Amino acid sequence: SSAIVFEGVTKRYSDGTVAVESLDLTLPAGELTVLVGPSGCGKTTTLRMINRLETLSGGRLLIGNRDVMSVDATLLRRQIGYVMQHSGLFPHKTIADNIAVVPRLLGWDKKRIRERVAELVELVGLDEALAKRYPHQLSGGQQQRVGLARALAADPPILLMDEPFAAVDPIVRAHLQEEFLSLQRRVQKTIVMVTHDIDEAMKLGDRVAIFAQGGKLAQFDTPARLLSA
């Protein structure tokens, strides 16, 4: 299983900032958990410890009962798709080539890559004519779709998303959120999403982890139970 378990996890940066303090949190496999809270409360640091873009200062972080600090970081990241606020696409690669980055690294043959790219373009709701274009020729919303397709390319069990809809305008955002919900129902991945938008958290999350200043977890529950409390 790909449940993600934080056991007393602390992150202190080298300048002494405590970004996350004694975090105990279990993110169930196959669910979408949203980390929400004000700027600076440790959401991104929490997310980035999962794919080891940040190291832990204390405690343990387990994925499927394996301690992430003891597994090879490259192998770990192959199991984990990562979508950032700004899509992070390679500007000199076409959309199709951006989506194919991980399959190429994995050595898939050309036919398999071509078929997978076509499948992903459809999955994330992009017009197939866009596949030959370059990132700057796409709108912000389209670029975020490409970022999502790239993260899903090798079908990782875990998907991390850092403010994936924050950089697009509100109408496009509402549309992307709806589509993302229906996509999640189909792919059933273990998803961890960071947002500062509590409405987005309540709308999308199977569970919502509310962080407070100082990197402390304040509440963790389903949206329904949080709203009835």
The single residue among 1, 13, 67, 71 that binds ligand ADP, judged by CB under 6 A, is 13
The nearer residue to ligand ADP, 15 or 109, going by C-beta atoms, is 15
Q: Does 65 bind ligand ADP (CB under 6 A)?
A: no
Q: Give the start-end residues of each E strand in the chain.
A: 4-12, 18-27, 32-36, 58-63, 66-67, 80-83, 158-162, 190-195, 207-212, 216-221
| Three-state helix/strand/coil letters over 160-205 | EEECCCCCCCHHHHHHHHHHHHHHHHHHCCEEEEEECCHHHHHHHC
Q: Does 56 bind ligand ADP (CB under 6 A)?
A: no
Q: Between 20 and 49, how does the x/- string for binding to ligand ADP read (CB under 6 A)?
A: -----------------x-xxxxxxx----
Instruction: Choose one: 13-21, 74-82, 124-132, 168-176; the region binding ligand ADP (CB under 6 A).
Output: 13-21
For the bound state, the minimum distance from the C-beta of residue 11 to ligand ADP, rounded and expressed in Å, comes to 8
How many helices and strands in the chain, by DSSP H and E?
Answer: 9, 10
- List, in order, residues 6 or more apart from 133 with CB less than 8 Å away: 94, 95
User: What amino acid occupies position 28?
Assistant: P
Q: Does 109 bind ligand ADP (CB under 6 A)?
A: no
For the bound state, the minimum distance from the C-beta of residue 36 to ligand ADP, rounded and expressed in Å, comes to 9
Interface residues with ligand ADP (CB under 6 A) are 13-15, 17, 19, 37, 39-45
